[in-house]
Structure 1
């Protein structure tokens, strides 16, 4: 009698456990869940890529300083010496070189 009760209880518990596990896996495989997982992975990859780019930039700056020291070049911020970026004229302004104006 106790043996049957034990196995009945063990079987019922295994059935409940298996049902819960299958339902959990089915919820993970819904399109919404898969899309959310993909978005999370993409965001995580973006953060890793940004961190890598920042590390590369810091390494480049450090190496540039090392080269400047080795060559005896005085380091300075070159960004201040660059000219302002050229911006095209706003739409609607007259451009003497606009070939489509006559057509």
Structure 2
């Protein structure tokens, strides 16, 4: 698989995850009804949905950032030094990709109040 195809597939994955949100957002809107929202289990479900939405947003951002990096990698000649690759990673907008020490931390969600994007 060429790097350009890989970048295209990452973009498509990001697009597909974004389209999943319509139904989830509709469900959240229904649950936000004042009569339902008073029920503690509904409030908990709403919080869980918001956390899932945040997870989707993170996946979409990761895919888009990796697609940018892959496109830049594809332009490099074969004998490019590792430092150039490191600079490309360092230029990404998502900290967990840009900063090596943060790689993989999104798999360990923090416990606390859910935050909207």
Which protein shows a greater Rg? Answer: 1
Which structure would you say has the larger RCO, counting Cα contacts within 8 Å and 6 or more residues apart?
A: 2
Which bracket does the TM-score occupy, shorter chain normalised? 0.3 to 0.5
